């Protein structure tokens, strides 16, 4: 079986000179929605941590359940998209994500943390299918040399979603103060049960609304016409047709893809680790001492920085080599995290929030560098890269372990190591390695 995407459309191909403005515009809604949904996890974590009285390691199972879906679903999703095409893959992904949102209602009604985790997995499975279909689709729709710039622009709308989500979640989910363990001890069992039901149900209305939005978008995508393109027709970023691809039996034989998958793993792991701990981190007396609802609003600065960075990065990458910009941003991000670890108060707070600005261009840049020149293997490569997003499942749990044992302040050494590897990839690991 070939691993190209939508190979059934043999009479169609990507025309770099064609105007794909409408298709790219409608695709931005997908990037917005999955950014919004993913970032809501940062609000769910402190909320469910308090409701179910969990430690950091336990509550990070939320991210584990969400991002494990990428490891399990990505490769099958790549095969599915290959058979049914980008558009149908997007529709199925939206419907699946909507069903996952619906599952939050019974999870809250039964006050069951395992049910919340199951709902997260189903939701993330839909998001995974969206990413497997949409990321390479955006990269293919246009000139190959501007693929990173184009994907950065659409990813900016992903960051718009991640910027709005913390404000939305803080108002609807974190607005009511969660009682402490000491306060719960003086309450009767019926009072505790009623209280926990009220707190758990705070997520029901927001996720029902998200489900409705996802179903509506799925219906829109089902009826509109989108360009049919074939990954095998795509040129590499140097403008040359990828003739050497026939000597490769699979995408795994491309070294720059494999190294890129590791870069995606550590990037998502580092970014999610920081975002997952921000509310609790900013609540520490030696950092900012903020209440959860107030800290949740500041999370928007972290994700808002990524949005701003992607808008600017989309233009900058037209004149600066994407790999050099990637290495620079990763280096600055690492320095900012170290500064936050070594300081307290406002310096520690704003240095960690500023990391978002430099995270901005990393994912789309790593993605486009990794699939450069893979031609008909682009579909399989997309599945591999999306599988690597499982870093968002594993590294936050690891950071949670260290937060429980050495303190939340110094547990941020995990993202520092992640950014160090990305510097390497931007300077050396990105270089395509093709068969002779």
Domain ranges of the chain: 21-429
Q: Whole-angstrom Cα distance, residue 170 to residue 254?
A: 44
Q: Which residue has the higher pLDDT, 227 or 32?
A: 32
Kindly indicate the confidence band of residue 238, based on its pLDDT and cuts at 50, 70 and 90: low
Q: Residue 235: phi, psi to the nearest 5?
A: -90, 160
Q: How many CB atoms lie within 10 A of CB 175?
A: 12
Q: Whole-angstrom Cα distance, residue 251 to residue 79?
A: 13
Q: Whole-angstrom Cα distance, residue 193 to residue 267?
A: 40
Dihedral sign for Cα 300, 303, 309, 311, please.
negative
pLDDT tens digits for range 82-101: 788 888 899 999 999 999 99
Kindly indicate the confidence band of residue 230, based on its pLDDT and cuts at 50, 70 and 90: low
Residue 28 has pLDDT above 50, yes or no: yes
pLDDT at position 189: 62
Q: Does domain 21-429 have CATH number 1.20.1250.20?
A: yes
Residue 231 has pLDDT above 70, yes or no: no
pLDDT at position 174: 65
Alpha helices in 173-283 (DSSP H): 181-185, 189-200, 204-223, 255-282
Q: Which residue has the higher pLDDT, 96 or 6?
A: 96
pLDDT at position 8: 33
Share of the chain above pLDDT 90, in %: 37
Token couple for 109: 């009604």
Q: Whole-angstrom Cα distance, residue 218 to residue 94?
A: 6
Q: Whole-angstrom Cα distance, residue 28 to residue 77?
A: 20
Contact 219, 117 (CB under 8 A): no
Q: Whole-angstrom Cα distance, residue 260 to residue 135?
A: 15
Quote the crossing angle between the two packed helices 362-370 and 345-359, to the nearest 10°: 30
Q: How many CB atoms lie within 10 A of CB 79?
A: 16
Kindly indicate the confidence band of residue 7, based on its pLDDT and cuts at 50, 70 and 90: very low
> Using alpha carbons only, how large is the chain's radius of gyration in Å?
21
pLDDT (average), residues 246-258? 78
First to last CA, the chain: 23
Residue 243 has pLDDT above 60, yes or no: no
How deeply is 114 buried, as exposed, middle or buried, from its count of CB atoms within 10 A (0-12, 13-18, 19+)? exposed
pLDDT at position 170: 78
Buried b (16+ CB within 10 A) or exposed e, 180-208: eeeeeeeeeeeeeeebbeebbebbeebbe
Instruction: Indicate whether this model's pTM tops 0.85.
Output: no
Contact 412, 268 (CB under 8 A): no
Q: Whole-angstrom Cα distance, residue 36 to residue 206?
A: 12
Q: Whole-angstrom Cα distance, residue 14 to residue 28?
A: 19
pLDDT at position 370: 92
Average per-residue pLDDT in the chain? Answer: 82
Place of tokens 């179903």: 215
Helix H or strand E segment including 146: none
Rounded to the nearest angstrom, the gap between the alpha carbon of residue 118 and the centroid of all alpha carbons in its chain is: 19
Q: Compute the 3-state secondary structure of the chain and give helix, strand, coil in percent, each to the nearest 5.
A: 80, 0, 20
pLDDT at position 182: 53
pLDDT tens digits for range 130-182: 888 887 778 777 777 677 677 777 777 877 888 888 888 877 776 655 544 45
Helix, strand, or coil here: 425? helix
Give the closest residue to 40 by CA, choosing from 122, 123, 112, 96: 123
Going by the DSSP 8-state scheme, the letter that residue 177 receives in this structure is: P
pLDDT tens digits for range 322-355: 899 999 999 999 999 999 999 999 999 999 999 9
Please tell me which of 149-153, 243-247, 249-253, 414-418 the model is most confident about, judged by mean pLDDT: 414-418
Report the half-sphere exposure of 15 (CA within 13 A, side-chain side).
Answer: 9
Place of tokens 């107030």: 294
pLDDT tens digits for range 310-319: 878 878 878 8
């Amino acid at each position: 079986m070939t691993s190209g995407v939508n190979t059934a459309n043999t009479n169609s191909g990507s025309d770099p000179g064609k105007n794909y403005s409408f298709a790219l515009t409608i695709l931005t809604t997908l990037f917005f929605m999955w950014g919004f949904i993913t970032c809501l996890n940062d609000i769910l974590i402190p909320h469910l941590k308090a409701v179910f009285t969990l430690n950091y390691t336990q509550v990070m199972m939320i991210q584990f359940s969400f991002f494990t879906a990428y490891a399990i679903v990505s490769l099958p999703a790549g095969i599915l998209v290959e058979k049914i095409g980008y558009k149908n893959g997007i529709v199925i992904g939206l419907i699946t994500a909507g069903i996952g949102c619906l599952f939050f209602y019974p999870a809250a009604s039964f006050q069951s943390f395992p049910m919340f985790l199951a709902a997260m997995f189903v939701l993330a499975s839909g998001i995974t299918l969206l990413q497997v279909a949409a990321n390479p689709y955006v990269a293919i729709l246009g000139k190959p040399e501007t693929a990173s710039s184009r994907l950065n622009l659409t990813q900016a709308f992903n960051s718009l979603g991640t910027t709005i989500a913390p404000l939305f979640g803080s108002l609807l989910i974190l607005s009511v103060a969660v009682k402490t363990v000491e306060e719960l001890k003086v309450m009767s069992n019926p009072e505790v049960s009623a209280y926990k039901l009220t707190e758990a149900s705070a997520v029901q209305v927001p996720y029902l609304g998200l489900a409705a939005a996802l179903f509506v978008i799925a219906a829109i995508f089902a009826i509109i016409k989108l360009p049919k393109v074939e990954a095998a027709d795509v040129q590499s970023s140097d403008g040359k047709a990828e003739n050497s691809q026939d000597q490769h039996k699979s995408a795994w034989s491309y070294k720059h893809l494999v190294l890129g998958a590791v870069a995606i793993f550590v990037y998502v792991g580092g970014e999610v680790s920081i975002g997952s701990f921000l509310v609790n981190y900013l609540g520490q007396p030696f950092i900012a001492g903020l209440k959860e609802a107030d800290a949740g609003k500041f999370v928007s600065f972290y994700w808002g920085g990524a949005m701003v960075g992607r808008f600017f990065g989309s233009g900058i990458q037209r004149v600066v080599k994407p790999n050099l910009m990637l290495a620079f941003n990763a280096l600055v991000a690492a320095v900012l995290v170290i500064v936050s670890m070594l300081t307290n108060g406002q310096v520690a707070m704003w240095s960690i929030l500023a990391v978002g600005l430099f995270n901005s261009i990393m994912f789309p840049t790593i993605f486009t560098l990794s699939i450069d020149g893979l031609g008909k293997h682009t579909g399989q490569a997309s599945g591999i890269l999306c599988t690597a997003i499982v870093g968002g499942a594993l590294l936050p749990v690891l950071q949670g372990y260290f937060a429980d044992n050495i303190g939340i302040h110094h547990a941020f050494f995990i993202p520092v190591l992640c950014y160090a590897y990305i510097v390497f990839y931007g300077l050396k690991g990105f270089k395509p390695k093709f068969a002779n």
